[in-house]
Amino acid sequence: MMQTTSPVSIATHYNNKRKMATLAKLQGHLVGLEQEYFGRNWIAEENRMREHCAAVKIQSCFRGFKVRAHIRYLQKMAIIIQKTWRAFQTRMYYRFMVQRAYFIMKMNFYNEMAVRIQKRWRGHYVRKSIHNYYEMKNYFRGLSMKNQIVRKELEEYEQTKKKEREKKAIEKEERRKRYQARKMHYLLSTEQIRGIYNSPYRQYPSETEYRLKHSSPLSRTILHKKDFTEGLVDPSIPGVPCVFPPLLPPIHRKKPQGPFRDTVEVWQQRYKPLEPSVRVATSITSEEEARQEMKREEWRNRIHDIKFLPFSHPTIFKTYEPLLHTSTKYGPIAYGTKHFRATEDTPTVNKPFQSVFTSIYLFEKFQKTYSKAGEVF
């Protein structure tokens, strides 16, 4: 027990007493308490398990309800969102598809129209330009006409040329016959002897006979010597191939009596060409001509005509060329030397220059009226 008497200690004392009392009470309850305690604990424990499970079940059930309700709600919301979004998308896509379909329809239409135009155009173009049937027909018709014309003209041309040729041939024949007749004029028949073209067995003489009658004898000078050298040898030089007329073999007749020369000799004499001597052949002025020729040749070949003078002051020896003015016989004219203007010949009226405006009065007085000191007037 306590020996202090403070309030706190008094209280605690009473508390301690109370507590002792309770304690004794309690310890009296203590013997059966343990069993009751265990029994109550065991029942409570069993109940506790059962209640625990039940509580868990109830809780889980309720939680399930809660969660499902929430999920349902979420799903509904999600559906609504998706619904509206899909509708929106689809409408957009639909608009797009409509546009596309419209565009395709338009293009098909245009294509068809274009095909129609091109069809028409191509047909027209081919028919008109590439293979124009009517034009071709016309062309071929024109071509045949042209061919006909050309054929006709060529035919005419050929005919005229043929006629010309025939005419020429006839003329040539005529000329040849005339020439033959002239050459054989001696075959003309005489009173005594009938010529070979005037046969007694014929009724009338042949055509050649008439020709012979009307032809004049051919003179020897017309005989042409054939040039066997084809123009390649100079015939102007004497002693050059002088072709004798082809000599026939001598006719072995009795040599005529008398002092006749041999026929061969005579022929050689007769047909010998002139072979002049050098003296005869040269012209009388040949020397002069040769000189001139030489001079000409030299002049031709000279590059310039200025003579080379072998001294160094050629100007001394240059001939003086007088002026045209002095050397002419007509003499110089007075104009340009003596006078330049025509005023000398024409009587000059002493007219002063015509003034357009009046002269300045003051200037007229210049040197006339100003001062005495000038002493001009």
Q: Which tokens sit at 121?
A: 């155009």
Report residue 318: phi and psi, to 5°. Answer: -75, 135
Give me the least distance between CB of 158 and another protein, in Å please: 4
Give me the least distance between CB of 122 and another protein, in Å please: 20
Nearest residue (CB) to another protein, 147 versus 369? 147
Nearest residue (CB) to another protein, 108 versus 147? 147
Nearest residue (CB) to another protein, 112 versus 166? 166
CB 167 within 8 A of CB 158: no
Give me the least distance between CB of 257 and another protein, in Å please: 16
Nearest residue (CB) to another protein, 125 versus 260? 260
CB 252 within 8 A of CB 263: no
Give dist(CA 242, CA 273) in Å, integer.
8
Give me the least distance between CB of 226 and another protein, in Å please: 11
Burial class (CB in 10 A: 0-12, 13-18, 19+), 187: middle
State the DSSP string of 145-170.
HHHHHHHHHHHHHHHHHHHHHHHHHH
CA 83 to chain centre: 76
Give me the least distance between CB of 190 and another protein, in Å please: 38
Closest Cα partner for 120 from 128, 132, 109? 128
List of residues contacting another protein (CB under 8 A): 136, 140, 143-144, 146-151, 154, 157-158, 161-162, 165, 228-234, 237-241, 259, 261-262, 264-265, 268-269, 272, 275-281
Q: Which tokens sit at 356?
A: 């357009």
Nearest residue (CB) to another protein, 103 versus 157? 157
Give me the least distance between CB of 287 and another protein, in Å please: 12
Nearest residue (CB) to another protein, 259 versus 310? 259
